Amino acid sequence: MWRQVRVVTFVMLVLMALVVRVGLTTFDSAGGVKGMTAFMHLLRNPAMTALYGRATSLATAGAFVAWRMGMYLALGAALWAGLLATRLTRSAEDDGTWDLLVTGVAGRRSALKTAIVVVIEGGAGVGVVTFLGLMSGSQSVVGSTQFALGLAGVAWFGGAIGLLCAQLFAPRRSASQIALITVGLMFLVRMLADGSSGGGWLRWLTPFGWLENVDSFGRRSSLWTLPLMIVPAVAMAAAWWSERRRDIGGAMWVRPDRSRAHVMLLATSWRFAWRERRSSLVAWAIGLAAMGVVVGYLTNALVSFSRSDPAYARLLNRWGYGSMITVKGFVAEICVIMALALSFLVVTLLTMVSADNLQGRLEVPLASGTGRVKWLSANLAATSLGLVVVALVSGVAMWVGVEFSGSSIALSVPLKGMLNSVSVAPLNVGVAVAFAVWLPRFAFTAMAALLSLCYVISMLGPILRWPKWLLDVSPFHFLHLVPSEAPNWGATMWFFVIGAALTTVASIGFARGDLGR
């Protein structure tokens, strides 16, 4: 089991170590403790605390990392652990690789026990990497230990939810989606708790709130590490209990064995590609719409705070975020951030091609006369259409949140911003198809690592004055703040040209490839 996930685990740990190291460097480059004086204004802003979490001080580099990057490190670790858990369990049952294992000497319990151990080891790895990264910057041993333990606890929570969902739902795609939605909802609860004056009690309901309450480099409330250990253990015990109450390959809640066939979207490869992605698109649309409503609702608080505090406005101008003092500018900034989520959506939808190929699901349609290029083209069309639909739904949800916050903007403002965030999609499509064709087993992992690295470069590169050639590596660096600014049509054209070229070359390789490779 460990060998199955060692590559994705290694990539994840390297990314976490890189982000921690970049955070430490950012603190030093900003002037250390003196440079953080200006950032103290951010700690009083409800919108910024909703995005990044609360912090009592920024007196050390560790405190800056925990505030500026901690919540998103925790979110990434929880999502990764959830996917890891469903891959080790539900995926193995779906494709039949557990059949001989569980009917042999080892048995079902031994297999699940091993999966739980691997998930625990992965979460422990998150904690170890975080601790070593903080210690490399000479941070407090106690604070680094508490923060690393908190991140490991959140990772264990995500893994435990994945293990439990693997027992309750089938196939793996359904189990993974429900696990990820659960983690996302927990993150949104934390955002609501930090973004409202009377909702602080909501932090008690989410592991992200428990991590925040630990305050590793501030007041240090070690008591909050207990639920981060206890709740994952309870969820894993529930998964252990549920496993004995179902058949191998089944789940606690499944559809009946016999039901009326729905063939409406199965007549052609084009319709099938849409149907195959339908559930994923619905899940992503719901998640990004919820995020859009929450962020939109925070708009009025941020803008009002910015206008009432000149020092904060000067700080935003200093760091290149001066446009955020207006409603339109803040929405434009959020839309650029949403470009990362939409990029991951593209990867999720297109790597289905490599998964279908490796697991033998393409043998029947391709042997029945459907051309390989036509099949790939159908997947590209469904992905592109679904991406635009999700982006527009997110834009409408953001507009609804802004309206409820007390501010008012035209519906066209977030829609233009979200369409601008889609402009990087042609390049993402080309790279994702290339990975899916030439590196099918690691397509999602490699693409996820590349996107994460590019986003870190675009966010921190300008602040840290990194070389221009390095900034140009990231496609996110070329996104303008639409509609506050005009779209970057030149970059959009290059995204399309490069993406089309990569897609064409990869399509030729796919057409000449063998099944299962």
Q: What pLDDT, in 10s, does the model give residues 324-359?
A: 667 888 888 889 889 999 999 999 999 888 888 777
Q: What DSSP character marks residue 246?
A: S
Average pLDDT of the segment spanning 90-102: 78
pLDDT at 124: 97
How far is residue 35 from each of residues 26, 38, 135, measured CA to CA in Å?
10, 6, 21
The C-alpha atoms of residue 30 and residue 243 are separated, in whole angstroms, by 52
pLDDT at 305: 67
- pLDDT confidence bin for 95, thresholds 50/70/90: confident
The 10 Å Cβ neighbour count of residue 428 is 27
More confident residue, 368 or 483: 483
Residue 43 has pLDDT above 90, yes or no: no
pLDDT at 187: 93
pLDDT at 306: 65
Query: Would you call 358 exposed, middle or buried from its count of C-beta atoms within 10 A (0-12, 13-18, 19+)?
Result: middle
Residue 332: inside a domain, yes or no?
Answer: no
Q: What pLDDT, in 10s, does the model give residues 450-463?
A: 998 898 888 777 76
Average pLDDT of the segment spanning 156-165: 96
Q: Cβ contacts of residue 227 below 8 Å, gap of 6+?
A: 207, 210
| 437 close to 354: Cβ distance less than 8 angstroms | yes
pTM, full prediction: 0.80
pLDDT at 327: 81
Residue 3: inside a domain, yes or no?
Answer: yes
Report residue 474 as tokens: 């990231």
Q: CA nearest 423: which of 381, 476, 483, 472?
A: 476
pLDDT at 279: 83
Q: Cβ contacts of residue 380 below 8 Å, gap of 6+?
A: 350, 429, 433, 503
- pLDDT confidence bin for 258, thresholds 50/70/90: very low
Q: What pLDDT, in 10s, does the model give residues 413-468?
A: 999 999 999 999 999 999 999 999 888 888 888 898 899 889 888 877 776 678 88
Distance of CA 421 to the CA centre of its chain: 16
Residue 73: inside a domain, yes or no?
Answer: yes
DSSP 403-449: HHHT----THHHHHHHHHHGGGHHHHHHHHHHHHHHSGGGHHHHHHH
Residue 132 has pLDDT above 90, yes or no: yes
pLDDT at 400: 94
Residue 480: inside a domain, yes or no?
Answer: no
- pLDDT confidence bin for 257, thresholds 50/70/90: very low
Residue 74: inside a domain, yes or no?
Answer: yes
pLDDT at 317: 63
pLDDT at 517: 60
Residue 59: inside a domain, yes or no?
Answer: yes
What is the residue-averaged pLDDT of the chain? 86
How far is residue 135 from each of residues 35, 139, 191, 232, 464, measured CA to CA in Å?
21, 5, 29, 27, 22
Residue 212 lies in domain: 1-25+34-253
Return the minimum-mean-pLDDT range out of 85-99, 111-125, 154-168.
Answer: 85-99
Residue 365: inside a domain, yes or no?
Answer: no
pLDDT at 25: 86
How many distinct structural domains can be found in the chain?
Answer: 1
- SS3 category, 253: strand
Q: What pLDDT, in 10s, does the model give residues 60-87?
A: 999 989 988 899 999 999 999 999 999 9
Q: What pLDDT, in 10s, does the model give residues 163-219?
A: 999 999 988 888 988 999 999 999 989 988 887 777 788 899 999 999 999 989 988
Cis previous bond, 256, omega within 30: no
Average pLDDT of the segment spanning 272-301: 86
Look at the block and give the residue holding tokens 């990869």.
506
Residue 139 has pLDDT above 70, yes or no: yes
Residue 203: inside a domain, yes or no?
Answer: yes
Return the minimum-mean-pLDDT range out of 51-65, 90-104, 106-120, 168-182.
Answer: 90-104
Q: CA nearest 349: which of 360, 341, 338?
A: 341
Residue 318 has pLDDT above 80, yes or no: no
